[in-house]
Structure 1
Amino acid sequence: MDTRRYRGFTVPRFYEGIAANRDEAVERFYQRLVGSMRTLMRALRIDTTVIGAEHIPAQGGALIAGNHTGYADFILLGTGPFLHGERLVRFMAKASVFDVPVLGHVLRVMKHVPVDRARGGDSIAPAVEMLRGGNLVGIFPEATISRSFELAHFKTGAARIAYQAGVPLIPCVMWGSQRIWTKDLPKHFHNVPVIVRYGEPVELTGDAEADTAELKRRMQELLDASRAEYTALAGPGTGEAWMPVALGGTAPTVEEAERIYARERAERDAKKAAKQAKRARKVRK
């Protein structure tokens, strides 16, 4: 692929940026925060290649669905919107996080979206409202980091939210993020190449299951393309813990990763139940 440097990132030579989104470019706090993160990543030689940024709309709402392999994904998913109009992404996060002092205030200032999973179908309403208001919203359909570094089970929320809001559903795949910082593996904050790839919007039918399957199929195509190109940047990854076992790595299989997640979830639920029981005993006293 013929590439060039543009605003600190590697992009296809044909890519041309656009004028900044007037409303979002002036959100000083959020812009300065993510700007400092981009500066830090460049200083650490996190060389990021961004492909398909032209699929990000210059104006109006869109839901960007990304795979999730590492803690840097929140910054990386927003690189395309930054390049294509200095747009900002409002991420969906657990409602409980917004109750944390200071952090909750920061998240609200940045207009991130609280999600109360206990409300079931009603939990998507804040994201739909944000999208209808002309914002970009980011979501990880896997709902947690995939330890297998393969696409794990997708929840149907992304398809349902985008369809209800009447906005494009844009697939995004990041590859290399797991080498920076992820679960169970050592951190490497220096000299890591990353590829962030966006695809054309998924045509939605209103059938959440079918639309989710199509989203996952499209994201797998993007992932396969990025993995093929990544070999030239970092070698084949044979025997590496950050590479899926199906590609010669030693990461857990999808099934093994699911068992680990189930065990962690059970442990969290047990701790939560124990805390609730302790509070109940104090109240009775």
Structure 2
Amino acid sequence: MAEFVYPPVVLAAKTMFRVLDNRLRVTGIENIPATGGAVIACNHVSYLDFLFCGLGAQPAKRLVRFMAKQEIFHNRIAGPLMRGMHHIPVDRAAGKASYDEAVARLRAGEIVGVFPEATISRSFTVKEIKSGAVRMAAEAGVPVVPMALWGTQRLWTKGRPRTLTKRHVPILIRAGEPLRPTPTDDTETLTKDLRTRMSTLLDQVQADYPETPSGEEDRWWLPARLGGTAPTPEEAAELDARPPRDDRA
């Protein structure tokens, strides 16, 4: 398919992050296939994760088609960009059509990006994940590449103000060894394995992160297990269970 929108968007994002000196470090590129279909399953700590997950595949010269909620495609600004980049809208009330579209894209040799936690993790740990990534990979006969991002939550995350122009924020992106599910594998077991791999990658990028909070008030972006003030997984689950509201401002 023609790519008139995606390359300029990638270039604009790279330029913006270069100007802001948001230091991106991508590792594990050898795990992203240079050709053929694959699912990238990424953790989710920020509203900007799709940008950085996509940039994580750039060294392999791959474009990632993300599965994203249908409402984004209806936005007057984001909608034309999402459609122009050939991302996949997801109607959560009727998800089979988007699932089938993702499988067709994978069989056609594309990379499909998913956030199997479904929503942003307030605890900055990997929540329980859905099985869709494993199931679509098995059906299409392609690998699942686990990926972890860290640092993106400092720019824009749930319950915090946007700081999109914040300078000198390191962003770490790491791709892990692929899983290769088959239709005969146990989906529940493989989904647990995928979550373990994502958690391990996240632990690694958190350990490698070159900065620490500048003071007590800055500890919000660290998980509780690392001495931060982010909610524990249990506290985050309670927050997620409350009635939804728009807290992105």
Report what 2:180 is aligned to: 203
1:163 deviates by 0.9
TM-superposed CA distance for 1:204, in Å, is: 1.8
**2 CA distance for matches of 1:237 and 1:68?**
24
**Mapped partners of 1:219, 1:101: distance in 2:** 34
Residues 40-90 of structure 1, C-alpha deviations (whole Å, 9 max, x = no match): 0111110011001121111111110000001221111112321112x2111
Distance 2:109 2:52 in 1: 21
Range that drifts further, 203-212 or 166-175:
203-212
Shift of residue 106, structure 1, vs aligned partner: 2.8
**1:75 is matched with which residue: 45, 48, 51?**
51
Greater relative contact order structure (CA < 8 Å, 6+ sep): 2
Is the CA contact (8 Å cut-off) linking 1:94 and 1:115 kept in structure 2? yes
Residues in 2 aligned to 1:79 and 1:97: alpha-carbon distance in whole angstroms: 20
* 1:193 Cα deviation from its structure 2 partner: 0.7
- Given that 2:42 and 2:147 are in contact with CA atoms closer than 8 Å, whether structure 1 keeps it comes out as yes
Residue 36 (1) aligns with residue 12 (2): yes
The CA deviation string for residues 97-145 of structure 1, in whole angstroms up to 9 with x for no partner, is: 3344454333222110112222255541111111111111110011011
Q: CA distance change for structure 1 residues 129 and 238 in 2, over 3 Å: closer, same or farther?
A: farther
Structure 1: stretches of 5+ with no match in the other structure: 1-22, 269-285
1:156 aligned residue: 131
User: Residue 255 of structure 1: which of 203, 221, 234 is its match?
Assistant: 234
TM normalised by structure 1 equals 0.78
Residue 94 of structure 1 corresponds to 69
Q: Which letter does structure 1 place at the counterpart of 2:178?
A: P
Mark the CA change 1:191 to 1:124 in structure 2 (over 3 Å): closer, same or farther.
same
Please give the alpha-carbon distance, in whole angstroms, between the structure 1 residues aligned to 2:176 and 2:43: 13
What's the CA shift for 1:235? 2.7
Looking at structure 2, the residues matched to 103 and 243 of structure 1 have their Cα atoms a distance apart, in angstroms, of 30
Superposition pairs of residues 103-252 of structure 1, within 5 angstroms: 103-121=78-96, 123-188=98-163, 189-205=166-182, 206-230=185-209, 233-235=210-212, 239=216, 240-252=219-231
C-alpha distance in 2, partners of 1:157/1:98?
A: 21
CA distance in 1, matches of 2:79, 2:48: 20
Partner-residue secondary structure (3-state), 2:242:
helix
* Higher deviation after alignment, 198-207 or 49-58: 198-207
What is the total number of aligned residue pairs between the two structures? 240
RMSD of Structure 2 on Structure 1 (CA): 2.0
Is this contact kept in 1: 2:45–2:157, CA < 8 A? yes
| Partner Cα separation in structure 2 for residue 100 and residue 182 of structure 1 | 20
Distance 1:97 1:228 in 2: 33
TM-score scaled by structure 2? 0.89
Question: Aligned partners of 2:137, 2:101: CA distance in 1, in Å?
Answer: 12
Deviations along 1:156-212, one digit per CA (max 9) or x if unpaired, are 111111111111100000011111111122444211111100011013253221111
Q: Are 1:238 and 1:247, in contact at CA under 8 Å, matched by a contact in 2?
A: no
CA distance in 2, matches of 1:257, 1:63: 27
CA contact (8 A) 2:39 2:143 kept: yes
Runs of 4+ deviating beyond 6 Å: none
- Measured in 2, the distance between the counterparts of 1:99 and 1:185 equals 25
